[in-house]
Amino acid sequence: MYASALLPIVALFPVALGQLNALAKAKGLKYFGSATDNSELSDTTYVSILSNISQFGQITLGNTQKWVYTEPTQNTFSWTQGDVITSFAEGNGQLLRCHNLVWYNELPSWITSGTWTNATLIAAMKNHIANEVTHYKGQCYAWDVVNEAFNDDGTYRVDVFYTTIGPEYIPIAFETAALYDDTVKFYYNDYNIEYAGAKATAAQNLVSSLKARGIRIDGVGLQGHFIVGETPSLASQISNLESFTALGVEVAYTELDIRFSSLPPTTAGLTQQGTDYVNTVMACVETKNCVGVTVWDFTDKYSWIPSTFSGQGDACLWYSDFTLHPAYYSVVTALGGTATATASTVTSSATTLATSTVTSTSAKATTTSSSGGGVAKWGQCGGTGWTGGTSCVAGTTCTYSNAYYSQCL
C-alpha cells in the first residue's frame, strides 16, 4: 500500500500516532526518540509522524553531522545538511542527540588517504572537534564524541586514528570537546555492549580510565541493533545497564531496532519482536540514570537493515507503509498506555493488522473490544498488575509475552 492511500486512515486515528514519548516521560525517562536523515524529510507522511512530540521527543542525526559531511576537505566546513535537521528538531521542541565527532567510518578521503604523523592527525582531529562542537553549541542534549572504538573481543579497532595516534586519541577527543561546550553531555557510543562480555568490559574500562584522569564523560550509548529472538532478557539488560551507571555515567539506548533474520515474519515472530522491544524499553525504564530510548528510524521504509543484511528487515515499529507493527502496541501497553482495537484494518507488508487507538493513562492499561465478547486482537489480557479483561475475542487466545503483559493473538 502506498503512503498516500494511508492518509485518510491516519487522519481517522490521530491518537494512535502520538504516545511513545509521552508515556516514556511519564515513566521517568527524559525522551523516546528517533533518528532521521535529510532525504526523509521530503516525505510528508513521515514528517507528520516524526514531528509529533508526544510520539518522539528527541531526534538524532543519522548521518549529516559525520566528518565526511561536515569537513569534506581539510579546514573547509559545511553545516548546511546538519542544520536542516537541527532546525527541524528545534522547531518541534525536540531534544537533539548529536552524532558523531570521531568515528572510523564515513571519513573524507583527505583523512583516510592522508599522510599523517601523530602530531598532525591530533591537530586535525582537535580542529574538527573544535569547529563542530562550537557550531552546534547550545543545540545538543548530547554528543557522541567517539563512536565504535572497540572490536567485539574488546581490543581497539584498527583505524587511522588508532594506527597513527594510538588509544590516546579517545581521551584527546573527549578533552577537546569539553573545551568548547560545557553544557552538553559527552557520550561514548557502541554496539554489542548491551550484554556482558569483552566489549562491554572494554567500554566500562574506558569510562573508568577517563574518569580517573579527570576527563569528562557523561554517558554511554548502547546502540541496540538486535535480532528477534536473540535480544537479551529484561534482567540481563538491566544488569548490564547498571554495570555502566555504577561508574557514574548515564546510559541510553541510542540506535534501537530489532530485525527479523528471515522474511516474512511469522505471527510468533511478531509476538517475539514485541517481547524483545518491551524488554529493552523497560530495561531503561527500570534502570536509574537510563535517560531514554532512540529507535534507529521508526519506519522500515527508511531502515538501514535491508541494504546491510540481505534478506533481513522489518526491524522498526512502523512498517514501510506506515502501518504499525504489533511491537508498537506492545511497547505502548508496557509503558502504561491503552490499546483499543477498532474494526478498521490496513494492509501491511507482513500481515493485516487492526488499527489501534492508543491513549495515555496514569493507571494500568485496559483493553476492550469494539465488538464485545472479550479483549480484542493485539490487546492486553494479562501481566503484572493487570486489572483488565483476560478473555479474548473468538479466534484469539491470551498469549504470554513477558512478565509485564500477555496479548490476545
Same domain, 203 and 302: yes
What's 84's domain CATH number?
A: 3.20.20.80
Instruction: Kindly state whether residue 34 falls inside one of the protein's structural domains.
Output: yes
Instruction: Kindly state whether residue 346 falls inside one of the protein's structural domains.
Output: no
Same domain, 306 and 390: no
Task: Work out the burial of residue 316: count CB atoms within 10 Å of its CB; fewer than 13 is exposed, 13-18 middle, 19 or more buried.
Answer: buried
Instruction: Kindly state whether residue 357 falls inside one of the protein's structural domains.
Output: no
Type and span of the H or E element at 238: helix 234-245
Same domain, 336 and 382: no
- Where a domain ends, among 340, 363, 396? 340
Query: What backbone phi and psi angles, to 5 degrees, belong to 110?
Result: -70, -20
Counting as low any pLDDT under 70, the low residues of the chain are 1-18, 339-373, 375-381, 383-388, 400-409
Write down the pLDDT at residue 306: 97
Residue 259's contacts (CB-CB under 8 Å, 6 or more residues apart) are 225, 226, 227, 228, 305, 309, 312, 313, 314, 315
How far is CA 369 from its chain centroid?
32
Q: What is the signed CA dihedral for 213, 156, 172, 115, rounded to 10 degrees? A: 150
Distance CA 240, CA 257 (A): 18
Taking the CA of residue 381 as centre, how many other CA atoms within 13 Å lie in the half-sphere pointing to its CB? Answer: 22
Instruction: Kindly state whether residue 361 falls inside one of the protein's structural domains.
Output: no
For strands 380-382 and 352-359, give the pairing: unpaired
Same domain, 397 and 253: no
Same domain, 165 and 59: yes
Instruction: Kindly state whether residue 189 falls inside one of the protein's structural domains.
Output: yes
Write down the pLDDT at residue 16: 42
Write down the pLDDT at residue 378: 52
Indicate the average pLDDT of the chain: 87
Instruction: Kindly state whether residue 177 falls inside one of the protein's structural domains.
Output: yes
Instruction: Kindly state whether residue 9 falls inside one of the protein's structural domains.
Output: no
Instruction: Kindly state whether residue 154 falls inside one of the protein's structural domains.
Output: yes
- Residue range(s) defining the domain that contains residue 395: 375-408
- C-alpha dist (Å) from residue 6 to 2, 153, 346: 7, 46, 8
Within 29-141, strands assigned E span 31-36, 58-61, 95-103
Same domain, 388 and 295: no
Same domain, 244 and 382: no
Write down the pLDDT at residue 88: 98
Instruction: Say which DSSP state 150 is in.
Output: B
C-alpha grid cell, residue 163 = 594506527
Same domain, 141 and 189: yes
Nearest CA-CA partner of 145 in 94, 180, 110, 196: 180
Q: Catalytic residue at 148? A: yes
C-beta atoms surrounding 398 within 10 Å: 18
Q: Catalytic residue at 90? A: no
Nearest CA-CA partner of 11 in 346, 301, 332, 401: 346
Distance CA 161, CA 113 (A): 12
- Where a domain ends, among 322, 340, 358? 340
Give the count of domains, the chain: 2
Write down the pLDDT at residue 366: 28
Same domain, 328 and 392: no
Write down the pLDDT at residue 384: 53
Write down the pLDDT at residue 11: 33
Instruction: Tell me which of 132, 148, 175, 250 is the catalytic residue.
Output: 148
- Where a domain ends, among 317, 340, 363? 340
